[in-house]
Structure 1
């Protein structure tokens, strides 16, 4: 769905306390979460506006977000 918010707190509401904890105690996790947030914000901005972007660039952004989400979930589930 275009423009849908995929923030970590929306994607993993049951893990929100763990997300907050790791963002304050684990610098590597914080950098990944911040990058994920930046990508999600950028993707939603592109979806919701008329800013031209080529399909390859857009696909790469979405792929990076997905890969980060997988890595973040792996950390959260340990």
Structure 2
């Protein structure tokens, strides 16, 4: 399976307009997006072998990313 990032615009293509609007108008949403992007970057670096990371820590980061993605999806669907 190829290694890839999980950017929100690709995860939620149906919410492109809402994503742009919330990023510019909602500080809390913008902070959650930053946190999601940072987690995605850390996960990618560990999976690519650029950064050594314990499997349990990596799993924990993936679970955090999923949780954030769910929270962001709630924001987007209610916008």
TM value normalised by structure 2: 0.90
**CA RMSD after TM alignment:** 1.3
Aligned residue in 2 for 1:24 = 24
TM value normalised by structure 1: 0.91
Deviation at 1:50, TM superposition (A): 4.7
Aligned residue in 2 for 1:11 = 11
Runs of 5+ in structure 2 lacking a partner?
none
Deviation at 1:51, TM superposition (A): 2.8
Runs of 5+ in structure 1 lacking a partner?
none
Secondary structure of 1:59 counterpart: helix
Secondary structure of 1:77 counterpart: helix
Give the count of matched residue pairs.
78
